[in-house]
Amino acid sequence: MALLKKGKGKKVDHMKTCLRCMECGHEASLLVERKFVCPNCGGLYDVVHDLSSLDCKTFAGFARIFDERAMASHRESHDPRVTSGVWRFKELIMPYLPNNQIVTLGEGDVPIVPAGENLRNWIGGGLDLWLILEGMGPTGSFKDFGGTVMVSVAKAAGITNIGCASTGDTSAMAAAYAAAAGMGCVVILPKGKVTPAQLAQPLVYGAKVITLPGDFDICMKVVRELVAVGALFPANSLNPTRIEGHQATVFLTAQFFGWNLPDWFALPVGNGSNCSSVGKGIRTLYSIGYHRTKSRILGCQSMAARPLAESWLDAGESDATIDSWREEYRPMQVGETTATAARIGDPVSREKVMREILASNGAMVIADEPALNEAVSVCGRDGIFVCPQTGIALEGVRQAVKEGTIVEGSRVVVVSTANGLKFTESASDNPLGDIIEAPDCELSTVVKIMGL
Amino acid sequence: MALLKKGKGKKVDHMKTCLRCMECGHEASLLVERKFVCPNCGGLYDVVHDLSSLDCKTFAGFARIFDERAMASHRESHDPRVTSGVWRFKELIMPYLPNNQIVTLGEGDVPIVPAGENLRNWIGGGLDLWLILEGMGPTGSFKDFGGTVMVSVAKAAGITNIGCASTGDTSAMAAAYAAAAGMGCVVILPKGKVTPAQLAQPLVYGAKVITLPGDFDICMKVVRELVAVGALFPANSLNPTRIEGHQATVFLTAQFFGWNLPDWFALPVGNGSNCSSVGKGIRTLYSIGYHRTKSRILGCQSMAARPLAESWLDAGESDATIDSWREEYRPMQVGETTATAARIGDPVSREKVMREILASNGAMVIADEPALNEAVSVCGRDGIFVCPQTGIALEGVRQAVKEGTIVEGSRVVVVSTANGLKFTESASDNPLGDIIEAPDCELSTVVKIMGL
């Protein structure tokens, strides 16, 4: 069995970027690490950069650089810091990676749009409400933000094969960026339990799809074994380089509002990489001298998969500490929900999510199933087709307004995590949909149905 | 039966923008016309603007305005000329429409990306090859470019209900922009012959879907009758305001290349509105003083639906005239193809397509079914998931290179018309897909399949 080659060299400066266990502080090399779990204590790694050695020393200086790149982005360029809305912020994301190692599909420069009238009325509270549409990218989900960084670092580390067990956004992202990098990608799935729509992206992107005669848990077990023996580089949520890229959500939003953060970011929480990233992005901006509005994070979960929100509530809500939360936390058996991408009973990044919720003076809420689906319909009535996970966050904002957590006039940015086109089945089942069967094909019949 | 109200007033200056029959020159008011077919001769209308009365008089002056708006587009704004990549070019698209009539979903500012290595090698010919990814927008297809203009003009005309019979991109676009405008939208479809994926967008966007106990032709007939009696404002290809918006393809591309057009635009041709638009866009740029590279248009059709390409070939290819082409043109019975959105046997905009192919010294090609599907797979191997219609254009470019029509070193921009996520069924059926069934769930079995 040919194992993965160890990192070839110092393409990322080891001294200036490293992995550090968030629990015990153990450090590891970004280009050598293959398992992304601390060997001492089993904790998750953070990526840590020494930003102090960058040329730019002031927040205004960074903002000027990022603004210049954004302004050039409508022009032909082969500089990934211009063509990618993630690498625009390279100095804050992966500063010491050589530009020629960057693997990009032009991700990141997604629309930030004001909520429409129907959505504003439905949520209430007189908010200044916006959506960042992260599904408007290469593979149709927010995972592209992290994928471009993960695969670029993997390329620098000499990796030739990446893989995962995922039926959705992660396998699409891994397969697309592996293709762009010229790497192999393996997606391991349970035989007979995956729809053509879920298979389409990995297959089109040229991944090797291996189906196993077992359930999804067995697929995950085999992936863990492959990682353990060094046969596969994992594209899953354990890999902290993804979180570096996801910080772009915060940087794009701040830039959009003239280098001001909103009062709140509202996000759906599955494995939790996006919450972790938004929290880290806010802290990163502060670390380089930003000192205006500090955003709070609203972490939103569905009733079907609410292990973090429930334990935060049980631990005393805004009085919770990391210790009181740990005491209350229990993995849960997930129920049924249309928001399948966030249907996770034991989130990988739970410790990071809770760190960021607490650090941002944030909050958590639980969206029940009818309400999250209604949110998708209401948003659609404004001409914006979001995924059911976004529905969790929209209903979460509505609840936070009702409970008084989010006050009138607040600027709230909802992170819309995937393109609605990935969820057409659940959308067409929605009871709010208006289908009328005409008994015949006469003009007068149709005119009557139209209500004219 | 409450008929549509006639236009309320002079919101668009009638003297400066009008409809003119492309056959007999008959003129009609943009805000009063409801049927979009010349009452004298049955010809199609063009939208005609008097650009000479605009403040800006030079090409450089226009370019400066458009560049300033593009540079502001990463910042919060409520000016549609900044937030929309279509309305950025308002002076060339619908100059006399008041800004407060504009209905936008933030469409238009789509990525223009270089072809990847696999696609370049597959097409050959040493081209400078790019794709404009028009599926990366609000409703996932190029129809958004025209939809925003059509619905804005309809709003100015006092229209309260729009509609169509379409299973795909047109119904999605019409429903989304009607929602954004606060209008009603009716989509008429054959009962039991539409998939959940096709229904999802109109339903989410709040359209009234009426199913008839008949086939698709009967649905089209009922829509024509509704238009004829003034009960419905048509969102279909007859409406020439859509073509004004689609011109943005040309303007965005020219701006991207520093106000230079490519040697070729390659497009799939269904009803032909995009070919008509690209041709008009090129002519519009010339009319305001652009005088660099003049693009040629490569119109590409599938073997299953090739009425225009076949008649162009029969009429003598590059020796064809509009008269010799008309003599050869026959509608055709369409065959089966994965490129269903271009599966049209008698294209509505055929006269406009041929006018632009001839005016641009362009060409037409026919893509056979296996090759167009292969093109989608090859593009996927670079990490870009395009629709089968884009496959027609990619295979078209490959053929044009083989035949010597497109010469080495040419800059070619392929118009990718829809998001691959709209075509996951056909993508997952692709024989190039690599699915391997493992006989058991053992690590060693999977490692062997991975080829390690």
The C-alpha of A132 sits at a distance from chain B's nearest C-alpha, in angstroms, of 12
Task: Give the integer Cα–Cα distance in Å for B248 and A147.
Answer: 31
Instruction: Confirm whether B325 is domain-assigned.
Output: yes
CA-nearest residue to A184 within chain B is B450
- Do A446 and B206 make contact, defined as CB atoms within 8 angstroms? no
- The token duo for A252 is 């794009």
pLDDT in tens, A126-147: 999 999 999 999 999 999 999 9
B138 touches chain A (CB under 8 A): yes
CA-nearest residue to B137 within chain A is A136
Which residues have CB under 8 Å from B95's CB, separation 6+?
B16, B17, B49, B51, B54
Task: Give the integer Cα–Cα distance in Å for A392 and A363.
Answer: 14
Task: Give the integer Cα–Cα distance in Å for B160 and B184.
Answer: 6
**Cβ contact B223:B216 at 8 Å:** no
Asked if residue B126 and residue B157 are part of one domain, the reply reads no
- Do A450 and B208 make contact, defined as CB atoms within 8 angstroms? yes
Instruction: Give the start-end residues of each E strand in B181-227.
Output: 184-190, 208-212
CA-nearest residue to B85 within chain A is A74
A141 touches chain B (CB under 8 A): no
- The token duo for A345 is 């009973």
Instruction: Confirm whether B40 is domain-assigned.
Output: no
CB within 8 Å of chain A, chain B residues 363-422? 376-377, 380-385, 419-422
Q: Is A147 exposed, middle or buried (0-12, 13-18, 19+ CB in 10 A)?
A: buried
CB within 8 Å of chain B, chain A residues 158-177? 161, 176-177
A104 touches chain B (CB under 8 A): no
- Do A433 and B106 make contact, defined as CB atoms within 8 angstroms? no
Give the pLDDT band of residue A6 (cuts 50, 70, 90).
very low
pLDDT in tens, A279-309: 999 999 999 999 999 999 999 999 999 999 9
**Cβ contact B345:B331 at 8 Å:** yes
Asked if residue B318 and residue B192 are part of one domain, the reply reads no
Mean pLDDT, chain B, as a whole number?
A: 92
- Do A222 and B376 make contact, defined as CB atoms within 8 angstroms? no
SS3 letters across A242-294: HHHHHCHHHHHHHHHCCCCCCCEEEEECCCCHHHHHHHHHHHHHHHCCCCCCC
The yes-or-no verdict on residue A199 having pLDDT over 90 is no
CB within 8 Å of chain A, chain B residues 42-101? 70-71, 73-76, 78, 83
- Residues A103-111 have a mean pLDDT of 95
Looking up tokens 């049209």 gives B344
Task: Give the integer Cα–Cα distance in Å for B125 and B406.
Answer: 8
Query: Higher model confidence: residue A11 or residue B85?
Result: B85
Interface test with B, best of A110, A122, A204 (most B CBs within 10 A): A204
**Residues of B with Cβ-Cβ distance to A82 under 8 angstroms:** none
- The token duo for A247 is 């910080």
Task: Give the integer Cα–Cα distance in Å for B131 and B104.
Answer: 24
Alpha-carbon torsion A371, A131, B144, A450, what sign?
positive
What ipTM does the predicted assembly reach? 0.94
DSSP H/E element including A363: strand A363-367
A188 touches chain B (CB under 8 A): yes
pLDDT in tens, B333-389: 999 999 988 988 999 899 999 999 999 999 999 999 999 999 999 999 999 999 999
Share of chain A above pLDDT 90, in %: 80
Fill in the DSSP letter of residue A332: -
pLDDT score of A432: 59
Instruction: Confirm whether A383 is domain-assigned.
Output: yes
Determine phi and psi for A21, rounding to 5 degrees: -65, 130
Task: Give the integer Cα–Cα distance in Å for A70 and A57.
Answer: 20
Task: Give the integer Cα–Cα distance in Å for B242 and B144.
Answer: 9
Asked if residue B252 and residue B120 are part of one domain, the reply reads yes
pLDDT score of B11: 64
- Residues A343-359 have a mean pLDDT of 94
**Adjacency order of strands within the sheet including A264-268:** A112-114, A128-133, A411-416, A264-268, A296-302, A363-367
Is this model's pTM higher than 0.90 or not?
A: yes
**Cβ contact B2:B232 at 8 Å:** no
In this complex, the residue of A203, A430, A441 whose CB is nearest that of residue B434 is A203
Instruction: Confirm whether B3 is domain-assigned.
Output: no
Residue B188 bridge partners (DSSP) = B210
Give the pLDDT band of residue B2 (cuts 50, 70, 90).
very low
pLDDT in tens, B12-67: 676 799 999 999 999 999 999 988 989 999 999 999 999 888 888 899 999 999 99
Looking up tokens 């020219």 gives B254
Asked if residue B231 and residue B204 are part of one domain, the reply reads yes
- Do B446 and A188 make contact, defined as CB atoms within 8 angstroms? yes
Asked if residue B331 and residue B188 are part of one domain, the reply reads no
**Residues of B with Cβ-Cβ distance to A71 under 8 angstroms:** 71, 74
* Three-class DSSP category at A212: strand
Instruction: Confirm whether A197 is domain-assigned.
Output: no
- Do B111 and A106 make contact, defined as CB atoms within 8 angstroms? yes
Looking up tokens 């910080």 gives A247
Biggest alpha carbon–alpha carbon distance for chain A: 77
The C-alpha of A395 sits at a distance from chain B's nearest C-alpha, in angstroms, of 17
The C-alpha of B165 sits at a distance from chain A's nearest C-alpha, in angstroms, of 13
Mean pLDDT, chain A, as a whole number?
A: 92
Task: Give the integer Cα–Cα distance in Å for B163 and B173.
Answer: 10
- Do A449 and B210 make contact, defined as CB atoms within 8 angstroms? yes
In this complex, the residue of B70, B106, B435 whose CB is nearest that of residue A209 is B435
**Cβ contact A214:A190 at 8 Å:** yes
pLDDT score of B7: 44
**Cβ contact B14:B30 at 8 Å:** yes
pLDDT score of A10: 52
A334 touches chain B (CB under 8 A): no
* Three-class DSSP category at A415: strand
Q: Can you give the CATH number for the domain in which A268 is found? A: 3.40.50.1100
pLDDT score of A192: 80
pLDDT score of A4: 42
CA-nearest residue to B187 within chain A is A435
Which amino acid, one-letter code, is at B177? Answer: Y
**Residues of B with Cβ-Cβ distance to A422 under 8 angstroms:** 421
SS3 content of chain B, % helix, strand, coil (to 5): 40, 15, 40
**Cβ contact A282:A261 at 8 Å:** yes
A228 touches chain B (CB under 8 A): no
Task: Give the integer Cα–Cα distance in Å for A87 and A244.
Answer: 11
Using the CB atoms, write b or e for A224-238: b if 16+ within 10 Å: bbbbeebbbbbbbbb
Which amino acid, one-letter code, is at B414? Answer: V
The C-alpha of B85 sits at a distance from chain A's nearest C-alpha, in angstroms, of 10
B182 touches chain A (CB under 8 A): yes
In this complex, the residue of A109, A204, A424 whose CB is nearest that of residue B376 is A204
- Do B424 and A201 make contact, defined as CB atoms within 8 angstroms? yes
Task: Give the integer Cα–Cα distance in Å for A251 and A110.
Answer: 12
- The token duo for B370 is 């296996």
pLDDT score of A3: 38
Give the count of domains, chain B. 3
- The token duo for B107 is 């469409």
Task: Give the integer Cα–Cα distance in Å for B416 and B411.
Answer: 16
DSSP H/E element including B264: strand B264-268
- Residues A198-213 have a mean pLDDT of 92
Task: Give the integer Cα–Cα distance in Å for A72 and A88.
Answer: 10
Which amino acid, one-letter code, is at A364? Answer: M
Which residues have CB under 8 Å from A406's CB, separation 6+?
A125, A127, A263, A264, A298, A397, A400, A412
* Three-class DSSP category at A25: coil
- The token duo for A102 is 């960057």
Instruction: Confirm whether B270 is domain-assigned.
Output: yes
Instruction: Confirm whether A286 is domain-assigned.
Output: yes
Asked if residue B155 and residue B133 are part of one domain, the reply reads no
Asked if residue B127 and residue B205 are part of one domain, the reply reads no
Range of the structural domain that residue A382 is part of: 112-140+242-428
Instruction: Confirm whether B212 is domain-assigned.
Output: yes
